[in-house]
Amino acid sequence: MDLAAAPPALLTRRHLHVAGDWVDPSSGDTIPVENPATGSIVGEVPAGTPADVDRAVAAARAAFPGWAATAPEQRAAHLDRLHAALAARADEIARTVATELGTPLKLATRVQAGLPLTVLRSMVDLAARPAAEHTVGNSLVVREPVGVVGAITPWNYPLHQVVAKVAPALAAGCTVVLKPSELTPLTAYLLFDAITEAGLPPGVVNLVPGTGPVAGEALAAHPDVDLVSFTGSTATGRRIARLAAERLARVSLELGGKSANVVLADADLPTAVKVGVGNALLNSGQTCTAWTRMLVHRDRYAEALDLVAAAVAGYRLGDPFDPATRLGPLASAAQAQRVRDHVDRALADGARLVAGGPDAPLPSQGHFVAPTVFADVHPDSALAQEEVFGPVLAVIPFADTDEAVAIANNSRYGLAGAVWSADEDAALAVARRMRTGQVDVNGGAFNPLAPFGGYKQSGLGRELGAYGVEEFTELKAIQR
Ligand code: NAD
């Protein structure tokens, strides 16, 4: 047996990480961790309590003055050691994500393990820069760390979402309490193994696993947390903003999306469709930035639908550890059921099924949903408006560029998007008109230094790059 391709061994964790130590939780309650490709329980973690959150926040508060006063190059050196310790665990991270989330191992290696390393590397460089100061008239304007950060993260990119908060918070001089998703807590433990090995000062980063309603709410509502940085659903984001509003704590929210992929009449259609389908199905469609609405000019619509159906037929479902697998399961039975309900609703609403659907063949076990494409989706219908968070693509025709922009912007979300055209200026003009935080023109590559975040109900604030570090700072004006 090829060990590198096997599930990892250590899947039960019994401790929290507080003040630099692995410590016992205050309660014996645990949360089971499931392998969604089989439905079997593979491990468990403690169910953190409000008392555990109190202890972790106190540790972060105690560590804050020292970390905030640490020189930027020393903070960068800590992050550099953390990068090395995490990189040494890349295989184990990929195998753990493949096990607790079901991401196919190849994709888990490239994205689930690779992306956080890229982001952490960028933060090492940013941490080394002294905080920007500038003079305005008689004022010296300085940036200071905001304080103790409560970080609450989802399951779809279990390490990336954590690193995208923890690394810039540390770079800015903040200390952190992390509550990872209860569906994928094991990957977060690997980060804390790396934190221990890297020798970060005690209390600078703390881990309390647990459920959203108990540990998550306790962290979001905690009077000693200065900023709550949350990634997850828009509904939970609203709840967290309400809890933080009670004490006027800062919030950063990275929420849902329903992003539009606009394919203009002169686009390189085979490429636009191939990349577009790949984007919509990435991680079984459980990607907040997924281009889940493909908008195609009427002149190319029939041709595009044929290409979409052919592309989707190439996505083989199966065991995440099988190299032939291109699509894994959904993260949980509940998530798979939500996606099936969206498919049923789209059929009831009269959308035309082009691929997949409720009767498509599936593996005999696990929370699988077939990649599914609907054509002629009405821009106001539930499928065009609601985030499905599964492998479901809506294809919508448009007559001209104004209509394409209107459909793209007909959404309460505004996280990502794409435009394809042989005329880059025309594509850029459409990109500028889209009310969304990120737009990729002709497949422009992901840039870890670019700001990431949403317009409208896709969130508040930005992550990544220097913008992501600024999110964890306050501005102070000193008059002389
Ligand atoms: P979720 O909102 O259910 O949970 C996210 C996190 O919040 C988990 O850790 C959960 O335990 C916690 N939580 C739940 N209820 C809480 C409460 N009342 N108080 C405090 N914490 C609570 O989201 P999910 O199902 O884990 O993730 C899927 C959603 O996340 C999708 O809507 C997706 O679009 C969104 N998402 C957004 C981004 C982004 O960057 N914009 C990235 C990934 C996922």
Q: Which atom of ligand 1 is nearest to the CA of 452?
A: 40
212 touches ligand 1 (CB under 6 Å): yes
CB neighbours (10 Å) of residue 67? 24
253 touches ligand 1 (CB under 6 Å): no
With 0.95 as the threshold, say if the pTM is over it.
yes
Q: Which atom of ligand 1 is nearest to the CA of 219?
A: 20
CB neighbours (10 Å) of residue 425? 8
415 touches ligand 1 (CB under 6 Å): yes
Per-residue pLDDT of the chain (480 residues; tens, 9 = 90+): 454 566 676 689 999 999 999 999 999 999 999 999 999 999 999 999 999 999 999 999 999 999 999 999 999 999 999 999 999 999 999 999 999 999 999 999 999 999 999 999 999 999 999 888 999 999 999 999 999 999 999 999 999 999 999 999 999 999 999 999 999 999 999 999 999 999 999 999 999 999 999 999 999 999 999 999 999 999 999 999 999 999 999 999 999 999 999 999 999 999 999 999 999 999 999 999 999 999 999 999 999 999 999 999 999 999 999 999 999 999 999 999 999 999 999 999 999 999 999 999 999 999 999 999 999 999 999 999 999 999 999 999 999 999 999 999 999 999 999 999 999 999 999 999 999 999 999 999 999 999 999 999 999 999 999 999 999 999 999 999
**Whose C-alpha lies nearest to ligand 1, atom 11?**
212
- Residues 100, 217, 254, 387: which is the catalytic one? 254
320 within 8 A of 309, measured Cβ to Cβ: no
231 touches ligand 1 (CB under 6 Å): yes
Q: In terms of DSSP bridges, do strands 175-179 and 205-207 run parallel, antiparallel, or are they unpaired?
A: parallel
**Whose C-alpha lies nearest to ligand 1, atom 15?**
212
User: Which candidate, 45, 49, 48, 21, places its Cα nearest to that of 34?
Assistant: 45
User: Which candidate, 226, 170, 174, places its Cα nearest to that of 195?
Assistant: 170
- CA-CA distance, 234 to 443, in Å (whole number)? 27
Q: Which atom of ligand 1 is nearest to the CA of 210?
A: 11
Q: In terms of DSSP bridges, do strands 260-263 and 293-297 run parallel, antiparallel, or are they unpaired?
A: parallel
**Whose C-alpha lies nearest to ligand 1, atom 39?**
254
Task: Report the pLDDT value the prediction gives residue 455, as an integer from 0 to 100.
Answer: 98
Q: Which atom of ligand 1 is nearest to the CA of 288?
A: 34
- CA-CA distance, 442 to 452, in Å (whole number)? 19
**Whose C-alpha lies nearest to ligand 1, atom 8?**
181
96 touches ligand 1 (CB under 6 Å): no
225 touches ligand 1 (CB under 6 Å): no
389 touches ligand 1 (CB under 6 Å): yes
User: Which candidate, 23, 145, 40, 147, places its Cα nearest to that of 100?
Assistant: 40
**Whose C-alpha lies nearest to ligand 1, atom 16?**
212
What spacing in Å lies between the alpha carbon of 155 and ligand 1's midpoint? 8
154 touches ligand 1 (CB under 6 Å): yes
To test the ligand 1 pocket, which listed residue (288, 291, 385) has its Cβ within 8 A of the most ligand atoms? 288
Q: In terms of DSSP bridges, do strands 148-152 and 175-179 run parallel, antiparallel, or are they unpaired?
A: parallel
Q: Which atom of ligand 1 is nearest to the CA of 237?
A: 2
256 touches ligand 1 (CB under 6 Å): yes
413 touches ligand 1 (CB under 6 Å): no
259 within 8 A of 413, measured Cβ to Cβ: yes
Question: Does the active-site annotation cover 386?
Answer: no
134 within 8 A of 141, measured Cβ to Cβ: yes
What spacing in Å lies between the alpha carbon of 293 and ligand 1's midpoint? 22
**Whose C-alpha lies nearest to ligand 1, atom 43?**
288
Q: Which atom of ligand 1 is nearest to the CA of 243?
A: 19
